[in-house]
Amino acid sequence: MLLDEYDRPLRDLRISVTDRCNFRCRYCMPAEVFGPGYRFLQRKDLLTYEEIEHLAALVAGIGVRKFRLTGGEPLLRQGLEELVMMLSKIEGVDDLAMTTNGVLLAAYAAKLRRAGLHRVTVSLDALDRKVFGQMNGVGARVERVLDGIEQALSEGLGVKINTVVQQGINESEILPLVRWGSERDIPVRFIEYMDVGETNGWRMEHVVPSAEVFEMIAAEFPLNKLEPAHRGEVARRYQIGRGKAEVGFISSVTKPFCGDCNRLRLSAEGKLYTCLFAESGFDVRELLRAGKEETLGLAIRGVWADRSDRYSERRGAGKNQKVEMSYIGG
């Protein structure tokens, strides 16, 4: 088992396949920064699916058991089901998931399920049309996302919802989302607004602490605490009543979980990051393209073994230029 400096095992690889997105959520890709003139990665700079598969197989060989496809919006990458099929055949990996905004999911759910995808996490910050349009920054219709979720369920994909809560914007959507999820046995996880990257204008006063969200929900629904499903699970989960429905709370700001973080992140252009709040990554693209197998394997092991990130526990202790979340995935 490969451990970092704090004895955290490597178990999870998050694979960004593109830095582009069709939403402009303020907490991730604000429109005034990521506008028409923004220079995204060129196709030649992206890792090919074969290169991603190669690296994924290497990390599976040293302990990774879960792959998650991210972006940007991963469904903007052409032929994504081909990569899913390739990753699904790698031995030792028991969970293959994808995070998406869901607006294109209805068109791709069947292909992804047939290719071997197990489940999707859909970012859904509101059910109200006006609030949803405000949150996504492009006026996208919430009905398209809801249709995508229904299609994913009908194809047999597992579905979870992630909701970022921002002060003064979507607190009113918390209870409607819990009701909606409980009616469909879809887990809903409420995420504290985080200071990811350098462009989202984060301020502590914009954070709605998970404790407040919990109290709001507990006043309406009976909540029973669930035990973590595995080490490194970031959400504190609660069963709603005696049914299958559940809610979760991801509290990176008020209750950091650095001590159990087991995630390695691969950017679309081939850099490895050991933290969502990292300043820089280790470039493996040239090693992949040069066919330096032994050097590549040693490099990956070294990146994790030297890992000492604990940003959320030390928030405010220093100023670092953090990588944007749209570049390495959430």
Question: Which of these, 224, 165, 229, lies nearest to 25 by C-alpha position?
Answer: 165
Per-block average pLDDT, block size 10, for the chain (330 residues)? 95 98 95 94 96 98 97 98 98 97 98 98 98 97 98 98 97 98 97 92 95 98 93 93 93 93 96 94 96 94 95 73 88
**What residues have CB less than 8 Å from 225, skipping those under 6 apart?**
236, 237, 238, 239
Distance CA 193, CA 125 (A): 11
What phi and psi values does residue 326 have, to the nearest 5 degrees? -65, -15
Report yes or no: 98 and 157 within 8 Å, Cβ to Cβ.
no
Per-residue model confidence as pLDDT tens digits over 84-95:
999 999 999 999
**Calpha distance 293→288 (Å, rounded):** 7
| Residues in contact with 295: Cβ distance below 8 Å, sequence separation at least 6, in sequence order | 287
C-alpha 202/C-alpha 24 separation (Å) is 15
CATH code given to domain 12-328: 3.20.20.70
Is residue 272 within 8 A of residue 306, CB to CB? The reply is no
**277 in Cβ contact with 330 (< 8 Å):** no
Helix axes 293-305, 49-60, angle to 10 degrees: 60
Residue with tokens 């030649």: 44
Do 115 and 35 touch, CB atoms closer than 8 A?
no
Q: In what order do the strands lie in the sheet with 282-283?
A: 223-225, 236-240, 246-250, 188-192, 158-165, 119-123, 95-100, 66-70, 12-16, 263-266, 271-273, 282-283
Angstrom distance (rounded) from CA 273 to CA 261? 13
pLDDT value for 231: 82
Residue 221: predicted pLDDT: 97
For the chain, give every domain's residue range.
12-328
Dump pLDDT digits (tens) for 306-317.
999 998 887 766
